[in-house]
Structure 1
Amino acid sequence: MAAHWSAGPVELPGAVRYTLVTGDGANDRWDVAVALPPAGARTEPLPVLYLLDGFLTFLTTAQIAQNLLAFSLRQLRPVAIVGISPTTGDRGRLTARRPRDLTPTSAAPGYHLGETPYGTGGAGAMLDLIRHVIAPHVEAAHGLDPSDRGLAGFSLSGLFTCWALACRPEGFRRFLAVSPSLWWDDHLLLDRRRAPFAVREASDVYLAVGEREDRPERSWPVMPAAMLRSLAGLDMVADLAAFTERLREAEKVAVRSEVVPDEQHATVWPGAVTRGLLHLYRTDQG
């Protein structure tokens, strides 16, 4: 029997991808991908989780959310996952854009080892884009609940999520940050004087870091000596513990913070986001 092959894009069931154009420049185009739960499992309006670094984490997170829901015995709320990324097929450019879009202050990159050709400190503009442009469009188009927005990120976008939680939480109810880069700007978010917490409505928070993120020499892949020297002193486990302590002193913040056993920066996201989705959206309280 003859076999015939054809190639095409991989589609995620229940997903749609938009292109948002906000200006005439090369940096004014955004991919916004929306993954919805199966029609038979939806309740409207749906809670929605806005995910930074969509090019890194959207597909994994959307598939995990769908798999969890399928096996949840109705003990998990269906949630829409929205991934946000700059529009470009150039992986280097995507990586270079992250310090501009995801950091809250104009500061030296510190432990961030890449170059910053687009600058730093654009998190405020990025948060405004999500709140005032992206969220209203996708919520109206897909029956999503503007009163139950979540924000999620990993590494630099985890820093973004923690900064929004601490300083500009308006409009978001849930926050999920994995391995956040809390070292940014001399540990800005650990400094009560430079980063006082904003007044807020109630927030439900899940934070996680890999056990092996306490020392760079414990990470995988094995780093060359020069890289290890540049990262000397980096302890993301201790940083998360300090930020968690600050959160637990704040009013109206319910926080779960975990160190995920035997995970490191390169491997922690899938397990941590699974645990985070369960914490934030489960219907039972057991």
Structure 2
Amino acid sequence: MGKNAIPASPRPAELAIGLPAADIQHHVVTAPDGKRAYRVSVWTPPLGPVPSTGYPLVIMLDGNAVFDSLTRTDDALPAGQSLQAVVVGVDHEPRDHADAKPFDPKANLAERSYDYTPPSPGADAPRGAPNNPHAVGWAKRGGGADQFLDLLLQHIVPLVQARYPVDPGNRNLYGHSYGGLFVLHAALTRPRAFQRYVAASPSIWWNNNFILQALASPSPVLPAGIDITVMAGAEAKGQDALPDSPESVVRALSRITHVRADLQVFPGLGHGAMLPASLAATLQRYVK
């Protein structure tokens, strides 16, 4: 597992933070082409003195799933502690434009597969799938990550910064699964966009392990102070890690100058269970 691996207890982290649904505000942002609409869900800390520089901004992909998980979790923080960050969930607007519904992972599979995966050779028909690395056609069309990243940075982040008391110098990006793959791509291609990147159970396998190829050749040159955390559950294999493992991603990131990369492991947790556990572990950083 290596010196950068940080074991984490899954149950306390999973149950640590809950947010009241009534405190969440929703906005709709339409893509410049007019073909896609995104739900931007925002939670801010309760009334109290705002830090002089503003609150840390935590952008979380798959926002419908994120807030479905957080609003179904009791707030188990110790007395006197509270979450001191503005939490923003970004997702596709439900087609019926109704209020947020329990997360359906298949409802927007094609959209998120396109938005969250990097442009790469063969992205229109990506190779690779869980438990079948040579499969063709399992994964939906991909390659739209740069367009979605533009939307995120040029439209969604400015909207949040204009309406909420956030610190523009403390921006953080979180994603799980395909979202975790997107976070890694964003860190490599737009490293100044955020100060911290969190990739939970990233889909390393996507398109014949393309993200590992991006890490290997050529070695990216990133600015100082980039903080990248990879979170993993049962897919973490310790010292016997395979080339397409979370450990291999962290090793490759650690070789890049100026990057602080670490692996946080949740022993035994499956892919789905990593969502609530990694959410709370990410937000714990902002509890005071």
Q: Is the shorter-chain TM-score for this pair beyond 0.5, marking a shared fold?
A: yes
Count of residue pairs the alignment pairs up: 247
SS, match of residue 75 in structure 2: helix
Identical amino acids, percent of aligned pairs: 26
Structure 1 residues 247, 61: closer, same or farther in 2, change over 3 A?
farther
TM-score with structure 2 setting the length? 0.75
Structure 1 residues 200, 126: closer, same or farther in 2, change over 3 A?
same
Offset, 1:29? 1.0
Name the structure where helix makes up a greater proportion of residues.
1
| Kept after mapping to 1: 8 A contact 2:216/2:252 | no
2-side partners of 1:247 and 1:72: how far apart?
A: 38
Coordinate RMSD, CA, aligned: 3.0
- Identify the match of residue 56 of structure 1 among 54, 65, 83: 65
Offset, 1:24? 6.1
Structure 1 residues 160, 101: closer, same or farther in 2, change over 3 A?
same
TM-score with structure 1 setting the length? 0.75
Aligned to 1:71: 78
Offset, 1:11? 6.4
SS, match of residue 83 in structure 1: strand
Offset, 1:143? 1.4
Q: Counterparts in 2 of 1:70-149, with a 5 A limit?
A: 70-71=77-78, 73=80, 78-89=84-95, 91=104, 92-106=106-120, 107=123, 108-111=126-129, 114=138, 116=140, 119-149=141-171
Aligned to 2:16: none
- Identify the match of residue 178 of structure 2 among 128, 153, 156: 156
Q: Which amino acid aligns with 1:20?
A: V
Structure 1: which 5+ runs fail to align?
A: 1-9, 215-234
| Kept after mapping to 1: 8 A contact 2:197/2:229 | yes
Aligned to 1:201: 224
Structure 1 residues 37, 58: closer, same or farther in 2, change over 3 A?
same
- Identify the match of residue 263 of structure 1 among 251, 266, 269: 269
- Identify the match of residue 274 of structure 1 among 243, 256, 280: 280
Structure 1 residues 61, 165: closer, same or farther in 2, change over 3 A?
farther
Aligned to 2:101: none
Structure 1 residues 62, 168: closer, same or farther in 2, change over 3 A?
farther
Structure 2: which 5+ runs fail to align?
A: 1-18, 97-103, 131-136
Q: Which amino acid aligns with 2:64?
A: F
Q: Which amino acid aligns with 2:88?
A: V
| Kept after mapping to 1: 8 A contact 2:57/2:171 | yes
| Kept after mapping to 2: 8 A contact 1:213/1:237 | no
| Kept after mapping to 2: 8 A contact 1:23/1:29 | no
- The structure with higher relative contact order (CA 8 Å, sep 6+) is 2
From the CA coordinates, give the structure whose radius of gyration is larger. Answer: 1
SS, match of residue 204 in structure 1: strand
Offset, 1:236? 8.5
